[in-house]
Amino acid sequence: MRVQRRDIESLDARQRFLSTLPEFIYGTAGANTPCVQLVANDGNGLIFDAGTGLRVLAKKSSPQKKYSILLSHLHWDHIQGFPFFDPLFEPNVKIDIYSPFPETGAHFAKQMKAPYFPVDFDTVKDKVRFVPIQAGKEFSIDGIKLNCCKMSHPGDSYAYSAQADGKKFVYATDVELYLDTHKYGNEIEAVFSGADFAVLDSQYTMQEAIEKIRWGHSPFSYAVDFAAQMGISRICLFHHEPEHDDKKLDSILHAARWYAKFIVQADVKVDIAVEGTEVCL
């Protein structure tokens, strides 16, 4: 899109021209790997996944004495931010890591062994507690009620629901969704049903998904269908395809909104994940 002389002749002309530009031109979705923070009204918070976004979270949030991190799975893009998490090296800080995978501690330690990282995990291990959890077995952290379920992904991945202050939040990345709801058991319905907001894997277009069956990710249209079936009010398209630029992501957002309105005809509000975005429920 090229600016014309008439578009800069006056303040009003410039404002009109700027108002016609697409949203993606004002910034980027970002490139850090998954990390999402949930904060309840009382100030207690949880962190979902420890991708490279975890480093940014530490830089931009107020220091705490305790952090609770819940892991969807152990693929590297979901844990690689942990060695760069500033609170890990602060005195008197404790970090609880909740995971349904056995030997999570050993896997975290491996990525901080020489020659991969200059600080050995043994020097900080006393700060970190690994807490095993089970799918379908409810638990709570600082008054936030939690549940998780196993989803379809190579090596498995787990989705979480968190309930506090009368709202239900779901974090579900790296999942391959199905249109056939009979494939979903009670554990999955317990996590997703009636959620107010869900961060939901929607990495692919339909054409890409057809070419990548069993890769463990979903097309955005399936995310909309799934939300409608589960009675989810609002979704955030998440875990973007690395090959998609910001213009492509913007087109996916508008296509998903059109799909929800005219094809599914469901009252599902659709947003897309952009680094630094805050959502109040």
Taking only the tens place, the pLDDT of each residue in 115-125 is 999 999 999 99
> What does pLDDT average to over the chain?
95
pLDDT of residue 269: 98
pLDDT digits (tens, 9 = 90+) for 192-231: 999 999 999 999 999 999 999 999 999 999 999 999 999 9
pLDDT of residue 132: 98
pLDDT of residue 181: 67
Q: Please, are residues 128 and 89 in contact by the beta-carbon 8 Å criterion?
A: no
Beta bridge partners of residue 167, listed in sequence order:
164
- Which of the four pLDDT bands, split at 50, 70 and 90, describes residue 102? very high
pLDDT of residue 178: 87
pLDDT digits (tens, 9 = 90+) for 236-253: 999 999 999 999 999 999
d(CA 144, CA 142) in angstroms, rounded, equals 6
Q: Please, are residues 195 and 163 in contact by the beta-carbon 8 Å criterion?
A: no
pLDDT of residue 1: 55
Task: Give pTM, 2 decimals.
Answer: 0.93
d(CA 234, CA 11) in angstroms, rounded, equals 37
- On the question of a cis peptide bond just before residue 154, with omega within 30 degrees of 0, the verdict is no
d(CA 219, CA 224) in angstroms, rounded, equals 9
pLDDT of residue 55: 98
The vertex-39 CA angle with 35 and 40, nearest 5°, equals 150
Beta bridge partners of residue 132, listed in sequence order:
99
Helical residues (DSSP H) of 78-236, grouped into ranges: 104-110, 186-192, 206-211, 220-230
pLDDT digits (tens, 9 = 90+) for 38-48: 999 999 999 99
Q: Please, are residues 155 and 144 in contact by the beta-carbon 8 Å criterion?
A: no
Count of CB atoms situated within 10 Å of the CB of 139: 13
pLDDT digits (tens, 9 = 90+) for 22-81: 777 878 899 999 999 999 999 999 999 999 999 999 999 999 999 999 999 999 999 999
